[in-house]
Amino acid sequence: MLKIKSNFIKNTVFTFALLSAFSFTACKGEKKLTASTTLSQVSKSKETVPAKLKKISPETKAYLEGKNIAVVLGYGYNSEESVQKLTQNLNENFGVETEEKPGLISVFVYPADFMVAGRERISHLADRLEDKTLAGMIILGAPEGLHIAISKLQDKAEDGKLPYPVFTFFSQDDVLGSESSSDFVLDYAHKADVIDGEVTDFIPDFDESQILINSISQMIELRQPLKADNNLLDFVQKLLDKNRTVTRYIDGETGLQSINHFIFE
C-alpha cells in the first residue's frame, strides 16, 4: 500500500513539473519577437498595423518580408527632442524596430549608436547593419566620413553596388563623397541670416518628419536603386511640399551641375 502511494506521489510531481516547464516555454515564446519576424507575423499579432503599411500591395509586402529600412539621424536631427519626434512618427506610420518588437524601420542616432571604446566611430555603420537585410537607407545630417562607411558596404556587394536605394538629406559630409554613395543628395538653399556675426541655416516652415515619411513610402515601392537620369529631379520634387522648388546643385568652383545633388528653397 505504501509502495503504491509513493509511486502515485512521484508520478504527480513529475506531471506537474512537465506542465510547468511547458507553460514557461510557451509564455517565453509568446513574448519574444526577433528582428527576423516577418511583416505577416506582426500583422497577425495584437500590435496595430502601422498606418502606411496598411496600404501597401501584396507584392510590396512580400518584398519587405524580413527586411529593414535604416534611418540614420545625424547633425541637426540627433537631439533628444528630434529623435523622439521622428521616431514616434516613423513608428506610427511604418513601425520602428526595438529589442521588444520587430519593425520595418531601424533607427540609428549619431554619435550615440556609433560609440566604440568611448570614441565616435561612424565606420561602425557596417557592423550595426551586419545582421540586417536592407530595403533602403535614409540619412539626415550625415556626419563627416559617413560616405566612407557606405563605400565599405558597396565593396561588400556582389557588383560593387548596393541593391537598395540610399537617400541623403542635409549632409555635413564631403560633397563628392555623399554624391557617390547616395542615389541623391538634397540640401536647403541656405538663406543666411546674420545675427551678431552668426550664420544660421534654419529652414522655415519645414517638417522633416514629412519628408522622411514621403521618402520611405516611395522607397518601399521602388525595390531597387534610383537611376541618375533626367527623371531624378522630378522624383525628388515629389518628396517635398508643392510650394518648394527643387533645382540642381551647381559646384561653386567648377560651375558644373550635379547629376544627383539637388537644393530647394
Domain residues of the chain, as ranges? 1-32, 35-264
Which of 86, 39, 34 lies closest to 66 in space, CA to CA?
39
Helices (H) and strands (E) in the chain, counts: 9, 11
User: In the predicted model, what is the mean pLDDT of residues 117-126?
Assistant: 93
Q: Return mean pLDDT, the chain.
A: 83
DSSP string covering 166-218: EEEES--S-HHHHHHHSSEEEEE----EEETTEEE---TT--HHHHHHHHHHH
User: In the predicted model, what is the mean pLDDT of residues 163-189?
Assistant: 96
pLDDT at 9 over 80: no
The proportion of the chain whose per-residue pLDDT surpasses 90, expressed as a percent, equals 71
The proportion of the chain whose per-residue pLDDT surpasses 70, expressed as a percent, equals 78
Does this model's pTM top 0.95? My answer is: no
User: In the predicted model, what is the mean pLDDT of residues 91-111?
Assistant: 96
CA-derived radius of gyration, the chain: 24
Of the two residues 28 and 249, the one the predictor is more confident about is: 249
Here the cell at position 142 is 550625415
